[in-house]
Every structure is written in structure tokens, then in C-alpha cells.
Chains A and B, each alone.
Chain A
Amino acid sequence: DVKVTQSSRYLVKRTGEKVFLECVQDMDHENMFWYRQDPGLGLRLIYFSYDVKMKEKGDIPEGYSVSREKKERFSLILESASTNQTSMYLCASSPPAGLTDTQYFGPGTRLTVL
């Protein structure tokens, strides 16, 4: 079974803090994704990566950055957390395009910024 893990289920941070959200997958997937999910807005793509050290902006990259130094690990960084970044953050991974188009999600991190 594919397993995608996220470093924390719940996180509370203060405005202005630097926040790291970690995601690890154990299936050697090339593609990894970071989404945020908010009521009424659904899942929105923040950043994705097709390979180590590669990253591409999604639909809402402002205020976020990412790092992919190893194939299995994809980190989301909030350089200076703000209250409007309070949300559920979901990481996903998938094999290369053409093998299967399914994304496998982690359990999510509910981040609250005070």
C-alpha cells in the first residue's frame, strides 16, 4: 500500500513564525503535491514537483515555498505565517504520468495561525 505521511496532524503557530510542513512518501513516486483545503473553496494546488530539486507553482503559491531535496520528501514552507494561512494542508504523491493518474494523499495537517 502507498503510504504518504505528514509530520503533524495539528499545528498551532503565531503570526510571523516560519513554519515547515513535511511530507514523506514510501512508493518512490516522482510527483508530489501540496494543497490547501478550505470550506467552500475545495482543494487548491499550492506547489508541485515532478522530480528532485524541481518545483512548479500551482494556483495559489503566494506566501509559500517548497523544497524537494530527496525523492521521498517534499516540504512546504511558510516564510512568515499569517492568519489567512490557517487551513488544512494536504500532501499527495503520484507515479509518473501514463502509469496511473491517481494521487495518494496524506492525512493532512490542520494549521492554525494565531
Chain B
Amino acid sequence: SQKIEQNSEALNIQEGKTATLTCNYTNYSPAYLQWYRQDPGRGPVFLLLIRENEKEKRKERLKVTFDTTLKQSLFHITASQPADSATYLCALGPGGGNKLTFGTGTQLKVEL
């Protein structure tokens, strides 16, 4: 069956450092992969989408890589700030239909 794995343990980093979150998947050939941010008690908010034919995508301090051979995506936040503290979810889509399969998310805590 399809499986998406994100590190269930919280990631604690110091302000100013680069945070790197991992999303691994098995038994899946996604057409694209998305990353969302979720704050406590709120719905997820879309951050970035990367398609299967793209290796890397950037948006301000965010960078996403997508390796379809390794079946892995890395999500980087450079120059991290306490305001970046949240849970980050990856989601895979088959293309055509908008149905997404979500990972369980990784909690990021950026400390002063």
C-alpha cells in the first residue's frame, strides 16, 4: 500500500540555521508533491508544489527538492526564525483529480 513517511519526532533548531525536513514515500509514483504549513488549531496552508520533472523549487527562504529515484523530497527553510515554528506536511498527488495523500507531518521548533 502507499506509504508516506515524515519524521514524527520534532525538529529543534536554533534561529538563523537551516531547517531540513524529509518526506519519503513508497509504492507511489506521484505526479507532484506539495508542502503545507499547519499551525496549532488551524488548517494547513499551501507553501510549495514541485512536479515530478522538477528537481528543485525555491520561494523566498524555502527550497524543495524532489528525487523520484530515491522517492524522497527535502524541504529546507534557510535563516530560520521562531515564526517558522509549526508542523509541516508533505502531500503527494497523482495528477488529474486533485486528490492528495498526506504525510503525518513534522513539527519544527525554532529556538532563540
Residues of A within 8 A of B (CB): 4, 31, 33, 35, 40-43, 45, 48, 50, 90, 92, 94-98, 101-108, 110
Q: Which residues of B contact A96 (CB under 8 A)?
A: 98
Q: How far is the CA of A105 from the CA of B42 in the complex (A)?
A: 9
Query: Cβ of B8: which chain A residues have Cβ within 8 Å of it?
Result: 40
Is the pair B104, A97 in contact by a Cβ cutoff of 8 Å?
Answer: no
Residue of B nearest to A40 (CB): B104
CB distance from B78 to the nearest CB of A (A): 23
- Distance in Å: Cβ of A86 to nearest Cβ of chain B: 15
New A-B contacts (10) at CB < 8 Å, excluding given A31-B98, A97-B96: A33-B99, A40-B8, A42-B102, A45-B101, A90-B43, A97-B97, A101-B98, A102-B49, A103-B100, A105-B45
B contact patch SS: loop
A43, A98, A102: which contacts B96 (Cβ < 8 A)? A98
Q: Is B46 an interface residue (CB 8 A)?
A: yes
B99 lies within 8 A of A45 (CB): yes
Among residues of B, the one whose C-beta sits closest to the C-beta of A9 is B41
Task: From B32, B41, B95, give the contact of A108 (CB < 8 A).
Answer: B41
Contacts of A48 in B (CB 8 A): 99
Q: Are A43 and B46 in contact (CB under 8 A)?
A: no
Contact among A98, A101, A105 for B43, CB-based, below 8 A? A105
Residue tally, chain B, CB below 8 Å to A: 24
CB of B43 within 8 A of CB of A108, answer: yes
Please give the distance in Å from A97's CB to the nearest CB on chain B.
5
Q: Please name the residue on chain A nearest to B4 by beta carbon.
A: A42
Also in contact, A103 and B89, with CB within 8 A (given A40-B8, A90-B43, A92-B43): no
Question: Which residues from chain B contact A31 at a C-beta distance below 8 Å?
Answer: 98
A40–B32 alpha-carbon span in the complex (Å): 24
Question: Is B82 located at the chain interface by the 8 A CB criterion?
Answer: no
B39 → chain A closest CB, angstroms: 10
A76, B32: Cα distance in complex, Å: 28
A105 to B39, CA, bound (A): 12
Residue of A nearest to B102 (CB): A43
Q: Which of A42, A50, A98 touches B89 (beta carbons < 8 Å)?
A: A42
